[in-house]
Structure 1
Amino acid sequence: MVEKTKKWAIVIGLILIGVVVSAGCADKAEQEQAPSAPAGEVTTTQPSTDETLTAPTSSESLIDLLGKAKGISVKYDMVTIENGEVVSTGTAWLKGNNMRIDTTAEGQAMVMIVNGDDRVSYMYQPDENMALKTVLDEVPESVTGNVEALMDLNPTIIGTETIDGMRCTVIEYVVMEKPEEVKIKQCIGLKYGLPVQTEMTSPAGTMRTEMKNFDFGRISDTTFELPAGVEIKTLSDMFDMSTLPDEA
């Protein structure tokens, strides 16, 4: 059970690293955004490589690249692979300050909803019809997509790569040095500033999340709401000792 919980935490953490970068730099001035399709139109996936795009060569230009994702409306699928095997699949929705991640790992479904407009997040377990609510003021700023938090990790630009027809800048940074080093490598698409691939390397091995099937169509606000009838708990509810049975 402990190992299963640990793996879930690692998978969710790796996915969040990719999605947080997708959220863009919330404090920057407006950047170029991808257009949304009008209601009723069939949406299309990410177009092929645009060779006219210039890859960043400095921290300043990297911030500009990441800033392109600010306020974007996008849906994409994710696959996480460890040691050559698929360990989780999922879908992410991003719209303004809001995001949703649906993940399935080892047969268990988990939904994370971040409503940045209301400053709350939910970890929702459909099988148990229960959600854990957290106020965003109580969690690190990086959860809400602060690119400054990423830049504080001193990412290094190590080159460019083309993935699924999309030109990407490749960056590396260390998220943990002790007791063991954990290094992240990300491929950031040059057109929209979205991560296309995130790879985490640690002494335990390498885990990679691939983002595919980018869709820039309209996303309903109801996507970031819990279904009716879900039991909502907070951390204080879960650690309320008064609810424990009395000792015999």
Structure 2
Amino acid sequence: MKNMKGEFALKKVFSVLLGTVLAATLISGCGGGQQTPSSTQTSSASHQEAQAPSTSDDLKTLLAKAKDIKTISYTMVMTGDGKELAKSKMWMKGQKVKMEMSDGAMKGTFYVDSAKKVAYTYIPEQNTAMKMDMAQFENKKSKTPLDYGEQLEADETKYSVIGDEDLRGEPCKVVEAKDKDAVSKLWISKKLGMPIRVESKNNGTLNTIDFIDFETADIPDSQFELPAGVQIVDMNDLMKGMPKAEN
């Protein structure tokens, strides 16, 4: 009975972690009808067309600052209409990612090693980690600050530079990006060459991702390793023993 309760609690936290990862994907990929502040609309349409080549070049130069970054850590805060929905701490180095999250009194850490195609959800209170096949999450991972720059550079027709603005005391270039029917607004730090805020509007709700507390110093490999003595539960083995749902 004790083991069953432990597995249930573990699954609950895993659901919270996965839900937040999916939420980040939805926030960063959805939106529409986002209005641009009047302070960034001082140029006429003809003037913007005339300046398009230079602003595009300026943005490319700005985004190039992030290309040499090998390791990075930051805090990601997601809000909906000004209400905080989730907060997590991220570490990235090569193909390894670590994400710390909390759900009230329960805390969890998500480890991903893309090279080994494996992911773990670690629950400190239970000294247990759930091992999962990376294939389950390859299309569901959240975007990182570096991903946005790569997408902007991949297709210049999907974005436009709409002005310059300070955010949290940091000079930024403001960009509007379009993807199919979605429209997002990004504040690209002139110092980092990465977005420090992404906004989109979805079903009347203003969703925001803030990236704060950036660090680019080297991260020890030990940061991406499970603590010693952790009990690992293989989700593939666990799922094999569960009854199939009936239609």
TM-score, structure 2 normalization: 0.60
Distance in 1 separating the partners of 2:77 and 2:175: 20
Write the letter of the residue equivalent to 1:90. Answer: S
User: Where does the alignment leave 5 or more consecutive residues of structure 1 unmatched?
Assistant: 20-55
- Determine if contact 2:14/2:121 at 8 Å carries over to the other structure: no
Task: Describe how 1:149-188 pairs up with structure 2 within 5 A.
Answer: 151=154, 154-174=158-178, 177=181, 182-188=182-188
Aligned Cα root-mean-square deviation (Å): 4.1
Q: Distance in 2 between matches of 1:5 and 1:205?
A: 26
Cα deviation for residue 202 of structure 1 reads 0.2
Structure-2 separation of matches of 1:204 and 1:8: 25
5+ unaligned residues in a row in structure 2: which ranges? 1-12, 29-53
* CA displacement at 1:196 relative to structure 2: 0.8
SS at match of 1:219: coil
Matched residue, 1:122: 120
Q: State which of 90, 93, 97 in structure 1 corresponds to 2:91.
A: 93
Q: Structure 1 residues 243 and 208, CA, compared in 2 at 3 Å: closer, same or farther?
A: same
Offset, 1:86: 2.1
Cα gap change, 1:192 to 1:127, in 2 (>3 Å): same
Q: Which residue of 2 aligns with 1:219?
A: 219
What is aligned with 2:4? none
Q: Aligned runs of 1:7-156 on 2, under 5 Å?
A: 11-13=20-22, 15=24, 57-58=55-56, 62=59, 65-70=62-67, 71-105=69-103, 108-127=106-125, 129-135=128-134, 139-140=138-139, 151=154, 154-156=158-160
Counterpart in the other structure of 2:232: 231
TM-score computed with the length of structure 1 as normaliser: 0.60
- 3-state secondary structure, aligned to 1:68: helix
> How much identity, in percent, do the aligned residues show?
23
Q: Shift in Å at residue 5 of structure 1?
A: 9.7
Letter in 2 for 1:185: K
Size of the aligned set, in residue pairs, is 200
Q: 1-side partners of 2:190 and 2:21: how far apart?
A: 25
